[in-house]
Structure formats: structure tokens, C-alpha cells
Structure 1
Amino acid sequence: MKDKSRPAKGRTTRRARAAAAAATASLALLATSCAGDSTEAASGGDVCEGKTVRVGVTKSASDAPFYVAKEKGYFEEQGLKVRFLPFDSAAKMIAPLGSGQLDVGAGAPSAGFYNAVARDVKLRIVADKGSMPENYGYMPLMVRKDLYDSGVKSIRDLKGLKLAEPAQATATSSTAAVMLDKEGLGYDDVKHEYLGFAEHVTAFQNKAIDAGLTTEPSASIAEKQGFAVRIATPPDYYDNQQLAVVLYGGAFAEKDSQVGNCFMTAYLRGARDYTAAMSDGKVTGKGSEEIVRIVSEATGIEPKLYQSLVANYVHPDGKVNVESLHQDYDFFEKQGWLEGKASVDDLVDTSFAEAAVKKLGPADKSGS
């Protein structure tokens, strides 16, 4: 059954506005219920007081809920001290999460991620951090401008051309496979070039690549500078793909489960403020000025550019699209990229998000 609390095709604007209103209402209700007894419902109480949580960030726009929660004092209200530790990529967080050097991180479920789990690296997928329902295709398929002008204007026209992905065997590889398949091409009918998203702009400019699945803000920068053109958006082919998730290290999840609940409560409050500020897939709705300021200061993205970007969606109740994780895992297995067996269902731990939602109330009680 499709998750009704995510934007759905044909009804995105109405549902996004409804979700924003519901999120605002739930927070208002929370504030009212706490007025007579400090922050009893929102705070973590004595169990979390003074605890330090080490969080890996990449200083990307998809870290928005972390930054919003910290700036607005939600972690502090839970009694937590949060240390943001910068990483060049989410992939580099896996080993520190597994060893207990890092408590919370993020990642795009990839073959490398599942291979680490198969080698007994202890990790838990605990919440949504970046998904792509309709209007939130923040990783569009781009084609180099000169090729577009010469007639390369559809996915079918990509046969034999160079398609950029961030690395081999990632969730983006699965995105590409689905998009190609639905237009009659196989995954190997294009040449795969592996470049970090930030490198795509220069690669388009230098004609080192012909096309690319490119995340924001690089997609908008390449477009504004006249180097590339958007020809397709993933949600039209692969609805609501789970592209990024919040991860808890195994030691943190098992030894400090109450602290994990406190962290998740603050994270979801940040996620709700973030999604409430969206309008038609961009951070331009009610309350967006504050969100734009917070994220721009944290990431260095210029505010006007940030408001023009297609935003990554984050489920306000933290729900993970497990069906999408299974689909991508099956693709990795089919490609021969997996070195062992890992159970997707065993990796996903919904208890932290469920505990936070029980404390805060659901973001959208009506499901509409």
C-alpha cells in the first residue's frame, strides 16, 4: 500500500500544503500541551540530559533537518549536546558508525553499504533523509547543452553516450537503470562515468560527460550557466525512491536507545519545520525565510540559489520506503555487486521514529 502521507502524483500541491498545515498544527498542539508543565512532552527528561551525540554531516542541503533542529534549539530541549563532524561524503561515515566513533550519520543505501553490513559492520536505518516523490526530483537527468541543441532530447537518445553517476553501485545506479529500462534501454546501453556530483558542472562545461544524474545544487548551477539541460526527473519513472537515510551506529542504537529516541524527536521537529516551509517542491512556502537562512549559513549555498532548487523531500514522521530499498538491493544483486547477504528488513529499525511520533503526535493524522 502506498504511504498516503507522502506527496502523490496529481495531488502534490494539495497534499504538500495539507502536510505543512498539519505539521504546524501538531507543533502548536505540542506547545499548548507543554505550557503548563515546561517541555514535558517535547523534552527528553533526565535520561538524555547532558548526553553528547556525534553526528556526521556533509554540509549538503539534504542535511537541512539536522541544521534546523540545532539552530532552533530542539536538540537542546531534549537535553542533548550535538557535535556535527564534517565528512567529504556519506560513504566515509560507514566505518566510524560501525566502530562507535560516530553515533549518527547518513547515507545512500548502496552495494558498498550492504557489503559493509555483510562484513558485520553494525548499522541501523532509522529514518528518511532524502526521498523523491513527485515534485521532489532533486536529482534530475541532465544532458549537455550542445548535445541537446543537436537533438539529444530524450532518454532513448542516450544510447552509447557517457552518463555520469557519483560512483558505481549506488542508489543512483538503480535510478538510472529504472529510467533507461522504461525507455527501452538496458543499463549497459550507456557508458557510465563516475564523478562526484560537485564535479558534474565542470564535466559538462569541459564536455567530459554527455549526460548525468546530478543532484542539486549542481543541477541548477549547470543549468543556469548554460552547460546542461534537464530532460527527465526520476519520480516520473521511479516514484518515491529512498535515496538517503538517517543511520544510527549499532552501539548507539543498542546502548543508548533512549538517547536515540531523544535525538529522533529533535530531528523530526527539524524535518517538520523544513517540510512545512516547502511549496511545490521548493523551499519557498510559509516560514521559508528562516529555513533558507539556517541552511544557507550552514552549507554556504547562496540564499537565492537555495530557494530556486528542487528540494529533497523528508518524511515528517521519518518513514522509510522499505519497498524502494528492496528494489535497489535486488538490482545490486542482479548486477553482481554484492559480496554477501544482508537483510534489508533487519537493517530498518522504525522504533526510534515511532517513539518520536508517539511523543510529538503524527504530522498528518488524516493521511491526506
Structure 2
Amino acid sequence: MQITYRIAKYLKVVLAVLLLAACTPIGEPATPTPAPVLVRVGVLPFMSNAILKIADAEGFFVEQGLTVELVPFRSSNDFVPLLLQGELDVAAPALTAGFFNAIARGGNVKIALPLTAFTPQDCPVVVVLARKSDVEAGKYASPAQWKGATIGISLAGAQGLPGYVVDLFLRQAGLTAQDVTLTALDPAVQGEALRSQQVDLLYAAEPWITRLLAGDDVVVLSRAEDVAPDLTSSFMVYGPSLLAEPEVGRRFATAYLNAVRQYHEGKTPRNVELVAEYAGLETELVQQVCWSDIPLDGAVNVDSIMLYQEWLHDLGLLDRLLSADEFLATGFVEVPE
């Protein structure tokens, strides 16, 4: 009897399990997690490029299913060829005639996101500097007094954005680049060139502005945002791979703009830490310098680019003027109208 009872009890358990299994709905097979997509991004050792460090370090790329490789470069000269060859997927090439001409000749690269903009703010990120002694003596008080001056500019030179901004300053006084001498200087020697009177004026950007002003013998004459307000001065450019895979491009843009939102929280301890680590700068300096504006909405000021492109065309540097559709990628960011 004891054995029969045990068998009956066992059969009840088996029956209960079978009934439970029968009543449990059969779900769809689990969808396998897609493998992360590799995106290779060319980066430069500038503070503005630290936005990509923020996106990477804070996991914003991983959240979008991306494995992003930040490939360091010292110069942006090779970015466009490497994008066209598929060696890079994203980069921030200098906005030169070469960029526009590459597109005009059939190159499949386009601006996708803004990196920096000359947004008017409490502090300047690009300026023209002068010796304090000259300003106190009444020299260079207005662009009209710049005639005949030697102006030091960044290595991007007279035929790039620095030359364009200087030209905008000169236009205020009816002058042109032919009325001054533009000298390309490495940032590391800019201060010495100004102080030793090798140049009369200096086109400078952060963090060099803060470093030079610390000496109390240099002053700001003019700010770039005064003559080119809201000009989108640098960009993230997509190569053929991301242009051909819009979903991946959108995911990259989403992660990027998440990092921009954190960046706009300002000089928080975490942001200062990441920017200083990325740019190889002292934490104290990063806290002091003026940070470039990166548009929160991901919108590119197309009108500002068209004006700059027309300037390049007037210099005879462009094959032809491009329409916005030719150089701007759309659909990756939802921009408010």
C-alpha cells in the first residue's frame, strides 16, 4: 500500500507539471542581440574634440550599440582622403576649399553634425590680440588702424577659416587682406611672436588666449563672434559608410548629442576631468578657459557656410559653388523648425 501511495503521489506531481506547461504560452524565440557596429572616428587633440571622449567614456556610444574607435591625429589634412577611402567613418576635417572641391569632384562625404560655433557668450573662444603697450598708445583701436599690420594666424592660414574671419574684421574698415600681411604661426610660438614684435596682431583661439592673457601684457582687440555670429566653425563629417547606413548614422548622432547635453552642464568636475585628460591640459587651465559652444540641437548654420563658401569662391579656390544639399547630410538629427 505504501508503494502504491508513493506512485500515486509521484503521478500527481508529473500531471501538475504537464498541466502547467500546457497552460504556459509559448513565446517568440528570443531575438539575438546584434553585434556592436564598429565606427572609426578621426580625432584631434583639441578641447572641442573632447566631446567624443565624453560620449565614449560615459557609455553613450555603447548605449546605441556602437563600438567607437577614436583614432588620434595631429592634423586634419588627411581626414577627407581617409573618409573617402573608408579608413575612417567620421572625422572633423578643416573646412577648406579642399573639402568642398572633394565633394564637387564626386567625393561622398557630408557634414552631419556641428562641432563648434561662434555663438555669442560671456567669454570669447577666438579673438584678435594685441600688445597692451600698443593699445595704450592708441594703436589698432579700430580695424582701420590695422592697415599695414602683420597679423599672425593659425596654420590653417589665409585661405581657411582664420583668413575668412580676419577678412570680416577688415571689411568693417573697408580694408582687404591685401592691406595687411598674414603670417601662419604654430600656436606654440604665437605668444613669443607677438611679444617680440615679429607680428603686430594675433589671431588666437583657446586655450592659447587664456595662456597669453595671463601675462598681463596682451589684450583682446576683437572677438570672432562679433563679425561672424553663430557661424558653424567646425563639423563632424560622415564618410560613405555612415551615409550608406542611415540607421548607424542616426545612432552615432544620438550618442553624440547625449554627450553634448552633458557638455552643456558646464565645468562640472566630471566634464573638467574628461576634457583635461583628453586634451592633455592642466585641470586648472581647463577650468579657466572659455569653452567652445556646441549647438545642443545638432543644427548646422547653413547660411554661414554658404557665405564662407562664397568667400572661397571669390578667391578662386573652388571648382564651383555647392548647394547645401551637396555638402549637408540630413535625416540624422531631428532639428526643430
Q: What's the TM-score bracket when you normalise by the shorter of the two chains?
A: 0.7 to 0.9
Which amino acid in structure 2 is aligned with residue 274 of structure 1? Y
Q: Does 1:266 align with 2:255?
A: yes
8 Å contact 2:158–2:164 — kept in the other structure?
A: no
Unaligned 5+ segments in structure 1 are 1-44, 278-282
8 Å contact 2:309–2:321 — kept in the other structure?
A: no
Tell me the equivalent position of 1:339. 319
Q: Does 1:60 align with 2:46?
A: yes
8 Å contact 2:39–2:67 — kept in the other structure?
A: yes
State the Cα distance separating 1:198 from its structure 2 match.
4.2
8 Å contact 2:153–2:202 — kept in the other structure?
A: yes
Secondary structure in structure 2 of the residue aligned to 1:76: helix
Secondary structure in structure 2 of the residue aligned to 1:314: coil
Specify which of 108, 128, 153 is matched with residue 141 of structure 1. Answer: 128
Q: Does 1:200 align with 2:190?
A: yes
Secondary structure in structure 1 of the residue aligned to 2:264: helix
Tell me the equivalent position of 1:224. 214
Tell me the equivalent position of 1:78. 64
Deviates more, 1:337-346 or 1:138-147: 337-346
1:182-197 matches, cutoff 5 A: 182-197=172-187
Distance in 2 (alpha carbons) for counterparts of 1:315 and 1:46: 33
Specify which of 85, 100, 107 is matched with residue 93 of structure 2. Answer: 107
Distance in 2 (alpha carbons) for counterparts of 1:262 and 1:116: 26
8 Å contact 1:95–1:121 — kept in the other structure?
A: no
1:206-285 matches, cutoff 5 A: 206-226=196-216, 228-254=218-244, 256-277=245-266, 283=267
Distance in 1 (alpha carbons) for counterparts of 2:321 and 2:199: 34
8 Å contact 1:204–1:227 — kept in the other structure?
A: no
What's the TM-score, normalizing by structure 1?
0.76
Distance in 1 (alpha carbons) for counterparts of 2:58 and 2:251: 15
Which amino acid in structure 2 is aligned with residue 295 of structure 1? V
Distance in 1 (alpha carbons) for counterparts of 2:217 and 2:187: 15
Which amino acid in structure 2 is aligned with residue 163 of structure 1? I
Tell me the equivalent position of 2:8. none
State the Cα distance separating 1:146 from its structure 2 match.
4.1
1:13-92 matches, cutoff 5 A: 46=33, 49-92=35-78
Deviates more, 1:83-92 or 1:314-323: 83-92
Distance in 2 (alpha carbons) for counterparts of 1:120 and 1:177: 30
State the Cα distance separating 1:59 from its structure 2 match.
1.5
State the Cα distance separating 1:91 from its structure 2 match.
3.0
8 Å contact 1:127–1:350 — kept in the other structure?
A: no
State the Cα distance separating 1:226 from its structure 2 match.
4.1
Which amino acid in structure 1 is aligned with residue 292 of structure 2? N
Secondary structure in structure 2 of the residue aligned to 1:90: coil
Secondary structure in structure 2 of the residue aligned to 1:352: coil
Unaligned 5+ segments in structure 2 are 1-31
How many residue pairs get aligned? The number is 302
Secondary structure in structure 2 of the residue aligned to 1:231: strand
Distance in 1 (alpha carbons) for counterparts of 2:101 and 2:188: 26
Secondary structure in structure 2 of the residue aligned to 1:247: strand
Check 1:148–1:168 CA distance in 2 against 1; reply closer, same or farther (3 A cut): same
Check 1:322–1:198 CA distance in 2 against 1; reply closer, same or farther (3 A cut): farther
Q: Does 1:325 align with 2:305?
A: yes
- The structure whose Rg is larger is 2
8 Å contact 1:111–1:337 — kept in the other structure?
A: yes
Tell me the equivalent position of 1:313. 293
Check 1:342–1:227 CA distance in 2 against 1; reply closer, same or farther (3 A cut): farther
8 Å contact 1:122–1:251 — kept in the other structure?
A: no
Tell me the equivalent position of 2:117. 131
Q: CA RMSD in A?
A: 2.1
Q: Does 1:162 align with 2:142?
A: no
Distance in 1 (alpha carbons) for counterparts of 2:185 and 2:318: 21
State the Cα distance separating 1:341 from its structure 2 match.
4.4
Distance in 2 (alpha carbons) for counterparts of 1:169 and 1:46: 48
State the Cα distance separating 1:79 from its structure 2 match.
1.7
Which amino acid in structure 1 is aligned with residue 76 of structure 2? A
8 Å contact 1:163–1:193 — kept in the other structure?
A: yes
8 Å contact 1:132–1:243 — kept in the other structure?
A: yes
Distance in 2 (alpha carbons) for counterparts of 1:205 and 1:227: 8
Tell me the equivalent position of 1:297. 277
Which amino acid in structure 1 is aligned with residue 44 of structure 2? T
Distance in 2 (alpha carbons) for counterparts of 1:209 and 1:92: 30
Distance in 2 (alpha carbons) for counterparts of 1:183 and 1:310: 28
What's the TM-score, normalizing by structure 2?
0.83
Percent of pairs with identical residues: 28
Tell me the equivalent position of 2:6. none
Distance in 2 (alpha carbons) for counterparts of 1:271 and 1:230: 28
Which amino acid in structure 2 is aligned with residue 115 of structure 1? N
Distance in 2 (alpha carbons) for counterparts of 1:176 and 1:142: 12
8 Å contact 1:107–1:245 — kept in the other structure?
A: yes
Check 1:203–1:227 CA distance in 2 against 1; reply closer, same or farther (3 A cut): farther
Check 1:149–1:46 CA distance in 2 against 1; reply closer, same or farther (3 A cut): farther
Distance in 2 (alpha carbons) for counterparts of 1:197 and 1:330: 28
1:354-365 matches, cutoff 5 A: 354=334
Distance in 1 (alpha carbons) for counterparts of 2:330 and 2:135: 44
